[in-house]
Amino acid sequence: MTIKSVRGTHDLLPESVQLWQRIEASARRLFELYGYAEVRTPIFEQTELFARTIGSDSDIVQKEMYTFSDSKGKSISLRPEGTAPVMRANLEHGLYHDGGIHKLYYIGPMFRHERPQKGRYRQFHQVGAEVLGSDHPALEAEVIDMLDRFLEELGATGLRLLVNSVGCPTCRPGYVKLLREELSKRQDDLCPQCQRRSETNPLRVLDCKVPACQPVIDELPSILEHLCENCRQHFESFRAYLGHHKIHYEVVPRLVRGLDYYVGTTFEMVSSKLGPTQNAVVGGGRYDGLSQLLGGPPVQGFGFALGIERLVVLLEETQDSQLPRPDIFLAYLDEQALEESLQLAQELRRQEIFAYIDFQGRSLKAQMRLANRLNSRFTCIIGEEERKSGEFPLKRMEDGHQVTLKRKAIASYVRGNHGPTR
């Protein structure tokens, strides 16, 4: 019996990787246009990092993290999310000593042991961005504007932006106390998980997706009615700046993030194409207290994480996955012509031209069929006459137009006619 991939993981085959590369390249180009620099953190950290920041009673820490002991008995976990490692790196390397604003982004795998479903895996990948050093609501709106532009350029349509404020240490404790009191009256109507959450972390009840809990959640008090003046003004300013960017949004008072470190502004972008419940493509918010949870000084922060697998689900419906398209297919008639093709291909590749050669000894007719199947832009048939004359026939496949060129002119001609693919 052959060995298969572990449940909850998946292989990215060549015909799919091109879309992933385009997503990653678009993120790097656009984020850097907004002033972000890439940061790369290890895929495993001390377990305490996530227990402190995400919440020791959270589902992620209790049930979903891949945790193990190293050779010295220290508890290590594969990272389930990217924000806490970025903040840990910020504190460990003293980036905050420089003052000012630090804009960072990351692209990489995360790990959570949860039930695999559409666009959701146990090894999954995220594009994330974090802004450290400012709590200005205009900066929050700029992050949303960057995300909106990123998704629009990729062709992801039909997404809804949901926003809310989850308060701060000044106003949230009073709301949590009220929430706990209201939930205690409806214990019998809650699922077992929400019955536990109503005592340990009542805010998480608002994020429950169990249908039977929804009538109870709909009747709970709104946090927006219990914000302190600072949180209320901040949220109003954030919404005003979204208006300046002409970004449409919906205020959803029940929206909370699944991580304990969020305060103030929170948001999600969701798509109905992913289903009625687990439909978020990207989510984020403010986390001004995260640094202190790690023993550091106060550091203001705002950011997001976008699931690449979920984004791919949306994009695959409108874009064809395909292998890279050759700029030129070099067909050869004999062994000497193959040697000539190899030399020509080497010269073209050094000039960023994608040259393709078939090494299976096919007939000329079969080689040309392969060139068509690969959708090559040009073909060039090389035989004894071409080797002796140093002139090569180039055929443009889209219309059959043919020219004969010296070998030194081939690269510039191919580049000038539709250009190289990379």
The model's pLDDT over 252-300, given as tens digits with 9 standing for 90+, comes to 998 887 666 889 999 999 988 876 667 889 999 999 989 999 999 999 9
Q: Which two tokens stand for residue 204?
A: 């998480």
Q: Which long-range contacts (CB under 8 A, 24 or more apart) does 59-68 make?
A: 59/258, 60/112, 60/258, 60/259, 63/113, 63/114, 64/112, 64/113, 64/114, 65/111, 65/112, 65/113, 66/111, 66/112, 66/113
308 and 354 inside one domain:
no
Distance CA 271, CA 317 (A): 13
115 and 239 inside one domain:
yes
In this structure, is residue 69 part of a structural domain? yes
Instruction: Output the average pLDDT for the chain.
Output: 90
Q: What is the mean pLDDT of residues 174-187?
A: 88
Q: Which of 291, 316, 341 is the last residue of a domain?
A: 316
The model's pLDDT over 99-143, given as tens digits with 9 standing for 90+, comes to 889 999 999 999 999 887 767 799 999 999 999 999 999 999 999
In this structure, is residue 421 part of a structural domain? no
pLDDT value for 259: 67
The model's pLDDT over 9-23, given as tens digits with 9 standing for 90+, comes to 999 998 889 899 999
Between 188 and 275, whose confidence is greater? 188
Predicted confidence band of residue 422 (pLDDT cuts 50, 70, 90): very low
Q: Pairing relation of β-strands 37-38 and 102-111?
A: parallel
288 and 336 inside one domain:
no
In this structure, is residue 205 part of a structural domain? no
21 and 84 inside one domain:
yes
278 and 335 inside one domain:
no
271 and 361 inside one domain:
no
251 and 150 inside one domain:
yes
In this structure, is residue 219 part of a structural domain? no
90 and 151 inside one domain:
yes
CATH of the domain at 166: 3.30.930.10
Report whether 165 contacts 134 (CB < 8 A). Answer: no
pLDDT value for 57: 63
- The total domain count for the chain is 2
Q: Which domain holds residue 378?
A: 328-416
Predicted TM-score (pTM) of the model is 0.84
The model's pLDDT over 390-421, given as tens digits with 9 standing for 90+, comes to 999 999 999 999 999 998 999 999 998 754 44
